[in-house]
Structure 1
Amino acid sequence: MHDIRSIREDPEAFDAALARRGFPASSGTILALDETRRAAATRAQDLLARRNEASKAIGAAMGRGDNDAAETLKAEVAQIKVELPATEQAEREAAKAQDEFLAGLPNLPAYDVPDGADEDGNVEIASWGDRRNFAFEPREHADIGPALGLDFETGATIAGARFTFLRGQMARLQRAIAQFMLDVQTTERGYTECATPLLVREEAMFGTGQLPKFAEDSFSTTDGRWLIPTSEVSLTNSVRDSIVEIENFIRLTALTPCFRSEAGSAGRDTRGYIRQHQFDKVELVSICRPEDAAAEHEHMLRSAQVILERLELPYRTMLLCAGDMGFGARKTYDLEVWLPGQGAYREISSVSWCGDFQARRMNARYRAENGKPAFVHTLNGSGLAVGRTLVAVIENYQQEDGSVVVPEALRPWAGGIEILEPGRQ
């Protein structure tokens, strides 16, 4: 959510920032709604003050025997009692219209975010690792995986398209990847492990920006709850409607299933394990003071990079342009891992600094140095997406005979298994 005071102070700057996100100028609409709301609020306050004043004057008039004045004042009070509810209702309606309009606008980009309309405007800022030179033509994970326990057919039979059933050594490898990630984040990077609800209320989804604009991208239940598209929702909302104690930061992590309808991705990645309706992810969330947020963003980025480097998976770091960032982000880094079977880099983590955008929607605050409550800054990222990491391991560590070598970093979590072999459970 946006700060209405900053829009009043500099509407041109607000519109210019929105334009970088590909949105039309909106300050005129916002300020018109704001003026209607403020005028109604002022009128309601004036009516209340006059009612109280007239009520006292009635008593005084009756005390001095001035019945005519008393009757005139009574008539005025009666008229106020009629007008006041309508005025208060007008204020509520204007406030609701203003809030709904603001809720549909994305966060404003940070000053150092590059301009651009889509992924073509993203900027590569670093790369790591050497791509493996294969003595054979590397295959995609969807071709290698089925013989190793990546069962697309059974998943589709049970639940439909974009669901997968993992068996034996493949399921063990995925579990090893997830536990390895979680242990690194909790023992080395300062994150506190959490176990969160997978179903959340509508206001939680609103707080992190999934609602109302992106309702079709998520799954809801018959009783009005929502399946989390990422544990960012439950982790970040753990500080909603509160004033938290923060010295530097609150770092949280969780390994959860995530659920996405993929409504906007028809025809994309329908083959394989890249884009699923259900997938596991190790989420990273930080809650911090505004002055610590930029450094915390870099720490979170490094926390995701460490995982890829330990697994010796080549990747590149991208700074997203204004038009390609997520709805709630003011600055985002993407990590893209190299997939030799596809011959392309694919996103495996997105690390975003949201400023106070989510905090305003959640009413999440801390006590600033002056003792007054102020909005926290929130950050979130993947550390990492487990299924996509599994894909990257399969494609980068594949052998000509269809087996897959288990990265050395994973072997302690994989029960010492060194290689996945076709047909073995």
Structure 2
Amino acid sequence: MTTPLAIGFDFGTTNSVVARAQDDRCDLLKLDGPAGPDPVFRSALCFWQDDAEQGGLGVAAGPWAIEEYLEFPQGSRFIQSFKSVAAAVRFEHAFVFERRYRFEQLGQLFLSQMATHARGALNLKDARIVVGRPVEYAGHRPDEALARQRYDAMFEVLGTKIHYVYEPLGAAYSYAARLDAPATVLVADFGGGTSDFSIVRIGVPGTTPRCTPLSHAGVGIAGDRFDQRIVDHLVLPMLGKGGRYRSFDKLLDIPGGWFTDFSDWSRLALMRNRRTIAELEKLRRAALDPDAIGRMIAIIEGELGYQLYDSVGRLKRALSSDAEAHFHFESDDLLIEADVTRAEFEGWIEDDIARIEAAVDRALIGAGVEPAAIDRVFLTGGTSLTPRVRRLFATRFGENRIAAGGELTSIAHGLALIGQQDDISAWTA
């Protein structure tokens, strides 16, 4: 007998992945891309003005968005990591060529573009769809109810009932397929916007249920925050951070909010609007170092956020394998170069590592287990490749208990497997 089709949907801050499970098969869905089919689809959108398109705007997503943007950056609006604002009360809409887009509208455009590049494989009328969600959403004081409302509106475009499951549980179910003995497993999922942890008891194959969730914890810190630390130390001093401006007869510090937004690539993309540019121009005229503010304006107006964070990402990846790496970012009137050691970078993120470790402690307390009772630690997500992150778990649990793999795909794979369970209610969040 053919079992119903189950879809696992990992909507990630940096990348999105879809898996399809039916009968005894579970496969990653490959989406068309400029370089060929690939299951990893960048969570990005690019808009450009085009009178031939409905509404006068063209739109592309994933790797196609990057290709369109690189072809004509100043005539495009490039938005990435928009998942980071899902729970943000202060985010109401993004301005795109003076048009307003709510979060759910951006999400619906993204999903429709994914469906186009899936060649009909996302026609899901009768499928059971399981969508991953973080244990704790990114941002300051995230509103979980608001995020759920926005997710519901976003995913209703797929036309069927949606089930939500914590992302690390998806990774846990995927990892369980590797095990042939019972184990208590700590799953640590490090994405772009959040770090999430689940402790799961896994039974022997054939056990029903195979996995039993014991506890969950999370923190809105992950790869994007590490990027922010690099921008804060290498880029923002060149753009006016720490500077002052004149207000009548007083000298005042430049407000830090400008730099907070600039260092967060989900918000940097939204700074290119008429009001923000006008306020920055006013600040430039009053600043003691107007050229520094001018460089910030040039990066925003020139839509150089992608190039900037690409340079940041290259540095971060290089420091995962080398003890020292070179940072290089260049635009028309700005050149930033610096040699950075891994030790320096780890010093910049040490406070973030402490908050991540505190979330791990909460997961252990919630499950009522000591570190010695954890048989395996499964690390997944791109940020799990950061040496300082891995060292945190090696120190706490021992290198011999750490497993990794499927950093970008394990969540979607596990979510699809969960979707095949007779009773999915035990997994939903």
Q: TM-score range by the shorter chain?
A: under 0.3
Higher strand fraction: Structure 1 or Structure 2? 2
